[in-house]
Amino acid sequence: MVAALASFLDARKNGGAWHLRIDDIDPPREVPGSVESILSTLAVHGLHWDGPVRYQSQSSPDYERALGQLEADGWLFRCLCTRNDLKTHGACGQNCRGKVVDVNAPHSLRVIVSVSDMSGFNDGFLGFQSALGRQIPDDFIVRRRDGLFAYQLAAAIDDAVPRHTHVVRGADLLESTHRQRWLHQILGLTSPHYAHVPVIVDENGNKLSKQTGAEAINLSTPIATLRRCLAHLSQTPPPPSALSIEDILDHATAYWTGTL
């Protein structure tokens, strides 16, 4: 909700359109009803998106084309590692790069990474971000062992659509941004502007999410939720006279001090 609100306000403040994309490329992990729940949660909080919802599950040809280009340009290699073989951060654990691998053996596809060639970027909230010194795994996976497209590939391709000028999302994705920008770089795509907002964490510093057992957002108190999200984003609190969702969002848009 924090990331959705921040990106919504940033788009509204700057006269942009706010597009909604559902990253549904991992059917084994999909929870039935979760997409409907996301759409209704946004709507209940007055966050209405522009244009049709884009579903990644319908974009396979785009991802396939990108993989073909990476393969043709010599950026990919086959990795035979199973989960048990991987090093920290999911890195290849058996030096699969450079090995001749039977194409019929189960494998993932990894992209060759050169952190020293990664360009930094100006983040809308965090200022300049360099890839150097960050824990960016070498040679990350772009197609999984089970044949599914990896999140990094799909997000990189979709974010680089020319009409997408700004991506506002949680700071937990900062490392992913470096990887996705690397894909843009070697594919010759233009990266959008990025802004990473602070995520909400529990007492142990873990991001609140379904994976860590966080409860769903209470849909009966949208105004209170919006106010809490604005406070988390260090925004000017809407006055007590702002009593409707529309009032809150109008005020928040007018006073938005978001991205650079």
Binding-site ranges for Zn ion (CB under 5 A): 79, 81, 92, 94, 96
Shortest distance, position 110 Cβ to Zn ion, whole Å? 7
Q: Residue 156: which of 70, 221, 236 has the closest Cα?
A: 70
Place of tokens 């090093």: 87
Instruction: Give 78 or 179: the residue with its C-beta nearer to Zn ion.
Output: 78
Shortest distance, position 96 Cβ to Zn ion, whole Å? 3
Tokens (6 digits) for 211: 């994976």
Shortest distance, position 209 Cβ to Zn ion, whole Å? 28
Instruction: Give 97 or 184: the residue with its C-beta nearer to Zn ion.
Output: 97
Instruction: Give 82 or 119: the residue with its C-beta nearer to Zn ion.
Output: 82
Instruction: Give 18 or 75: the residue with its C-beta nearer to Zn ion.
Output: 75
Q: Which residues of 194-214 are buried (b: 16+ CB within 10 A; e: fewer)?
A: bbbbbbeeeeeeeeeeeeeee
Nearest-angstrom CA–CA distance, 94 and 85: 7
Cβ distance 9 to 251 under 8 Å? no
Instruction: Give 13 or 145: the residue with its C-beta nearer to Zn ion.
Output: 145
Instruction: Give 124 or 137: the residue with its C-beta nearer to Zn ion.
Output: 137
Shortest distance, position 193 Cβ to Zn ion, whole Å? 34
Shortest distance, position 149 Cβ to Zn ion, whole Å? 18
Shortest distance, position 77 Cβ to Zn ion, whole Å? 9
Instruction: Give 104 or 220: the residue with its C-beta nearer to Zn ion.
Output: 104
Shortest distance, position 157 Cβ to Zn ion, whole Å? 24
